[in-house]
Each structure stands twice: as structure tokens, then as C-alpha cells.
């Protein structure tokens, strides 16, 4: 039965057994080295599937990715079913993996005060002549996971959809968020709409167990913090 499956095209396999679908359904860490290589080469030949071809290549390199990484494009092309494009894809992927090992992990910034938010987002708002709304996504320890642009508007304002804000937070499994937008005029006073939006997002965050830590309004080289003013 296993031999029969090896001879069939990957497209004839059950969806959960296909490498690409398996990655989408269960995550990249569930795939074997063979399956990851099969995704890189994309397709096999009339005689064997991409998975079977990948298994053969890896087996002939002692099932060791370091051995495979030492192969040149020309050497990989010696395997039946591997052309130049597939060989280049394998070489490029393994080289990226090597470079990743040499790249230090970026230091995550911790948000403790409004000034930390200002330093983190100051360059985002520099010299803008229109309004934008950005959020910081935080983990449980208030470390910045990433920042996201939620909306872009004109000089008078920008529309913010709460669903988009919390969709981003849920997708990244954030424990907290920091709201921010700019006033191109330089006037830092929050508008009634700013206050209403902040209240609505704080309330929605409580329902989802996602803390709204602060809301900053950026002006000309300065800012207004809802948290500092006791409004959050």
C-alpha cells in the first residue's frame, strides 16, 4: 500500500498527507525534512513523487542536511528529476538557513512607560502630512511582538475598524495592545471621536482578555498619552 502511494502524484494523495496542505493545516514544525524539501522542489517526475524524490536525495546524503547543504547546483542536477531551477531552490533555502544561524535575534523592546511607545513609533509618524493609526502588539511581559498599520486617512482623520485591530491581536496571540495615531496639525488634544474610540476598544479588549495599555497621539516631536492623563 505504501509503495502504491509513492507512485501516485501528490495531488492524488489525501489532502492531509500533502506537504503544502499539511504545513497550512498543522504548521511548519510538523513536516519532516523530506516534506520540506518536497515543497522546495515542487514536483517530481512520472516515475516518483516530489516526496519520494526528496527522500532519495536526502538518503543519499546520509539524511543529513549539512551534507546536502554542501552540494553545488551542478551536483544536485545529477539527481534524476532535479533540474537547475529545483537545484537553485534547494541551495538558496539551505543558505538562508545557514545565514539565519549567524543572525542574532533582534532585541524586543519592553513597554513600561508612554515614552517607550513614543521611541518605538516616532519614526513611523515622522513628517507625515496625513493621519495614520498604528498599534503595537505586546506579549504577556509587555514586550513588543510587532507593530501594525491599521488605517491611513487624510489630514482631518482616519477611520479605525475595531474588528481589524483585534483580528491582528488575536492572529499574533497578543496579550496587550497599544493604540496610536497622529495629528498632522500638531494639536495634541484628543477629539471626542478619539475618546469614544479609545473607550470602545478598551471595552472590547476586556471581553477578549486583551489589555489596551495606552493610546498615544503623536504631534510635532511630542505626544499625548491617554494612560498618563488617567483616561485608560
Query: Residues 96-130: pLDDT tens digits?
Result: 999 988 888 777 889 999 999 999 999 999 989 99
pLDDT at position 13 is 55
CATH architecture of the domain formed by 114-225: 3-Layer(aba) Sandwich (3.40)
Q: Mean pLDDT of successive 10-residue segments in the chain (232 residues)?
A: 45 62 89 94 84 94 95 95 95 94 83 96 93 96 96 87 96 97 94 96 96 96 96 92
Residue ranges covered by each domain of the chain: 2-102, 114-225
Pairing of strands 211-218, 223-225: antiparallel
pLDDT at position 9 is 54
pLDDT at position 11 is 57
pLDDT at position 1 is 36
Q: What is the rounded distance in angstroms from the CA atom of residue 160 to the CA atom of residue 104?
A: 36
Amino acid at each position: 500500500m505504501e509503495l502504491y502511494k509513492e507512485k501516485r502524484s501528490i495531488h492524488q494523495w489525501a489532502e492531509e498527507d500533502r506537504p503544502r496542505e499539511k504545513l497550512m493545516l498543522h504548521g511548519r514544525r510538523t513536516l519532516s525534512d523530506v516534506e520540506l524539501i518536497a515543497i522546495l522542489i515542487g514536483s517530481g517526475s512520472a516515475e516518483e513523487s516530489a516526496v519520494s524524490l526528496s527522500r532519495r536525495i536526502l538518503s543519499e546524503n546520509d539524511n543529513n542536511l549539512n551534507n546536502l547543504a554542501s552540494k553545488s547546483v551542478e551536483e544536485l542536477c545529477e539527481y534524476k528529476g532535479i533540474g537547475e531551477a529545483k537545484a537553485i531552490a534547494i541551495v538558496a533555502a539551505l543558505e538562508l538557513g545557514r545565514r539565519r544561524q549567524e543572525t542574532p535575534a533582534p532585541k524586543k523592546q519592553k513597554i513600561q512607560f508612554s515614552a517607550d511607545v513614543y521611541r518605538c513609533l516616532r519614526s513611523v509618524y515622522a513628517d507625515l502630512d496625513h493621519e495614520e493609526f498604528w498599534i503595537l502588539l505586546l506579549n504577556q511581559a509587555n514586550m513588543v511582538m510587532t507593530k501594525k498599520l491599521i488605517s491611513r486617512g487624510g489630514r482631518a482623520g482616519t477611520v479605525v475598524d475595531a474588528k481589524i485591530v483585534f483580528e491582528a491581536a488575536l492572529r499574533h496571540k497578543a496579550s496587550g495592545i497599544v493604540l496610536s495615531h497622529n495629528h498632522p496639525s500638531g494639536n495634541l488634544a484628543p477629539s471626542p471621536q478619539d475618546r469614544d474610540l479609545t473607550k470602545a476598544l478598551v471595552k472590547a479588549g476586556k471581553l477578549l482578555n486583551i489589555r489596551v495599555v495606552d493610546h498615544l497621539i503623536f504631534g510635532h516631536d511630542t505626544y499625548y498619552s491617554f494612560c498618563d492623563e488617567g483616561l485608560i
